[in-house]
Amino acid sequence: MSVNIAAQLGEAQVQFLEIISNYDGTIKETDVTNGLVSLTYYESVLDNTIRATVTLVDTGYGKNEGTSVIEKDNINLNSGEKINLKMNDGYGNQLYFDNSDTYPLRISEVSNIEEGTNKFVYTINLTSMEYHKNDNLDARVTKRFDGQIPDNVTDILKNNLKTEKDITVDEGLNSFSFTGKSEKPLYLCTWLAKRCVPNIQDAKAKLAGYLFYETSKGYQFKSIDKLFQQKPKRKLIYTETTDLPPGYDGKILLYHFSSTFNLKRLRLTGALGQAETRTYDPYTHAYGNTNQVNSEIQFNETNTGGLERIKYGDDQDLTTKRYVKSFDTGILPPGKNLTEQLKKSKDINFNIDEILIQSSMRYNSLFGIKLSMTIAGDFSINAGDVIHCDFPEVSSKDLKVYSDKKSGIYMVSDVAHRITTEGCFTSLNLVRDSIGRKPF
């Protein structure tokens, strides 16, 4: 049974917001909390950095009353300057980014500048520190990697990007050899995500596809299928009454379904129906047999959002997508010496038939249903979390019950925590790959 943790709507507090300038070689810390107009913090499963947008008005508040804080402290708002930020929501959850910790934020851009004789209004766009370090030449990935992809992602983040943040990875099944080719670390980790098979029973030749992203808890390299196996972080309900029913954590204030299944798009990508590969082996100079994969093999209630797979009339088994690829036979065979490598020189490094179609299907089906909603500010919700949502059925009954079709498990693809003078609210973009309400 869920615990009712409903807080005052819009309740939150920014404890401090400091700009740390080191533009001229002298570290200067300036508190701009009193000038805060709005603050929005973002996370997304499709973004490899966290982001924040802060709008400030400077009229000479606080200790420098009568003179602009920026002018008085001789602060230069430039890309790369650090920000200290600490804020709490109404539930007691905290977001904390501090220069003395491993999670500082840096200015990526200063925009919307409005200057006058009485005030100075500006917007600061923030990203994580690693987002800037990613551009450094000494961070480029150049060496060869063998073995499990999740292990190599951890290696790249620690030894190339040199992050001290927590790194959470889901175990994989397949080994993969590759070279860095002087690519940037964040790009390479994203590139590896679509080549990884999760360590799930019977996943071989059926399941593939990971997401690489950053949250307030660090870097995440997560299997799409394992994300849906999580216990829901929150159980929310939309009602037209002021009372919160027992067993729910909070209320959905506003919601709308931005899109439901686009059957045409899903068919063209192979996520609905069948897709096939035609391959060429450069070692034998032979074309391989056509391999067909039906998207039905990926559906399993334990690792999907709903109970029912979407179908397309009576021709759902028709093939609508074809991949034509060459095997990489003999490319980067594993082994510590030439003798060991020669023994595996006829092996395929990246098995197109078992991974390519499967990951493409999984990515496209994941965003089959898109739902946007607003709730009271809740900083504990991160991108990649699973939320249980109940929506009323459309009915003339006096006693309305939840909709079995729309209600159920959704995954958070994007989250934005917004603090203004009017309060604090969390906006969520949620997605799932099927319909039906799974038991909570």
Q: Which CATH number belongs to the domain containing residue 58 in this structure?
A: 2.40.10
Of 44-48, 82-86, 392-396, the least confident: 392-396
Of 48-62, 137-151, 391-405, the least confident: 391-405
Q: Structural domain tally of the chain?
A: 3
Residue finishing a domain among 127, 151, 170: 127
Range of 114-123, 146-155, 283-292, 350-359 with top mean pLDDT: 146-155
Residues 213 and 115 in one domain: no
Nearest C-alpha neighbor of 124 from the set 58, 210, 179 = 58
Handedness of CA 196, 198, 203, 208 (dihedral sign): negative
Residues 32 and 77 in one domain: yes
Residue 395: its pLDDT value, please? 60
Band the pLDDT of 7: cuts 50, 70, 90: very low
Band the pLDDT of 147: cuts 50, 70, 90: very high
Residues 123 and 142 in one domain: no
Please answer whether residues 257 and 369 qualify as being in contact, where contact means their C-beta atoms are separated by less than 8 angstroms: yes
Residues 300 and 321 in one domain: yes
Residues 210 and 279 in one domain: no
Q: Which two tokens stand for residue 440?
A: 């909570």
Range of 98-112, 175-189, 342-356 with top mean pLDDT: 175-189
Tell whether 427 is covered by a domain.
no
Residues 369-390 have pLDDT tens digits of: 999 999 999 999 999 999 999 9
Mean model confidence pLDDT for the chain:
85
> Stretch 232-254: mean pLDDT, rounded?
89
Residues 103 and 148 in one domain: no
Residue finishing a domain among 227, 255, 286: 227
Nearest C-alpha neighbor of 13 from the set 93, 84, 123 = 93
Tell whether 239 is covered by a domain.
no
Per-residue three-class SS string for the chain: CCCCCCCCCCCEEEEEEEEEECCCCCCEEEECHHHEEEEEEEEECCCCCCEEEEEEEECCCHHHCCCCHHHHCCCCCCCCCEEEEEEEECCCCEEEECCCCCCCEEEEEEEEEEECCCCEEEEEEEEEHHHHHCCCHHHCECCEECCEHHHHHHHHHHHCCCCCCCEEECCECCECCEECCCECHHHHHHHHHCCCCECCCCCCCCCCCEEEEEECCEEEEEEHHHHCCCCCCEEEECCCCCCCCCCCCEEEEEEEEEECCCHHHHHHCCCCCEEEEEEEECCCCEECCCEEEEHHHHCCHHHCCCCECCCCCCCCCCEEEEEEEECCCCCCCCCCCHHHHHHCCCCCCCCHHHHHHHHHHHHHHHCCEEEEEEEECCCCCCCCCEEEEECECCCCCCCCCECCCCCEEEEEEEEEEEEECCEEEEEEEEEECCECCCCC
Residue 5: its pLDDT value, please? 44
Please answer whether residues 234 and 388 qualify as being in contact, where contact means their C-beta atoms are separated by less than 8 angstroms: yes
> Stretch 39-61: mean pLDDT, rounded?
90
Residues 169 and 106 in one domain: no
> Stretch 319-340: mean pLDDT, rounded?
84
Is a pLDDT exceeding 60 seen at residue 180? yes
Residues 114 and 145 in one domain: no
Residues 216 and 318 in one domain: no
Residues 120 and 37 in one domain: yes
Residues 77 and 141 in one domain: no
Residue finishing a domain among 364, 393, 409: 364
Is the full-model pTM beyond 0.75?
yes
Is a pLDDT exceeding 80 seen at residue 74? no
Band the pLDDT of 127: cuts 50, 70, 90: very high
Residue 440: its pLDDT value, please? 65
Residues 279 and 215 in one domain: no
Residues 201-239 have pLDDT tens digits of: 999 999 999 999 999 999 999 999 999 999 999 999 998
Tell whether 413 is covered by a domain.
no
Residue 6: its pLDDT value, please? 45
Find the domain containing 140 and state its range. Answer: 134-227
Q: Which two tokens stand for residue 214?
A: 């950053």
CATH code at 143? 3.55.50
